[in-house]
Amino acid sequence: MTVKLILRDKEYEVRPGMALVDALKKNNIVPESVIATLNGEMITDDEVLRDGDVIKLIAVISGG
């Protein structure tokens, strides 16, 4: 199986066992630009992804 990262209408698949931050970088997603959730709970960049996880990524908007 795999781990799915979902950002807007795009899905990315990564292998289980890697840290979230590494999975984001592998798919050219800047870790500071998203908030990651698993089962409705916010997770940190050092979370180790497990087989079958579906991570929803929420884009962070900033401005001034």
13-47 pLDDT per residue, tens: 999 999 999 999 999 999 999 999 999 999 999 99
6 pLDDT tier (thresholds 50, 70, 90):
very high
**Residue type at 53?**
D
pLDDT reported for residue 61: 83
pLDDT reported for residue 62: 75
Burial 3-36 (b: 16+ CB within 10 A, else e): bebebeeeebebeeeeebebbbeeeebeeeebeb
> Which residues make beta-bridge pairs with 4?
13, 54
Range 40-60 average pLDDT: 97
- Nearest CA-CA partner of 51 in 27, 20, 17, 25: 17
| Domain 3-59 fold | Ubiquitin-like (UB roll) (3.10.20)
Helical (H) or strand (E) element with 25: helix 20-26
Domain ranges of the chain: 3-59
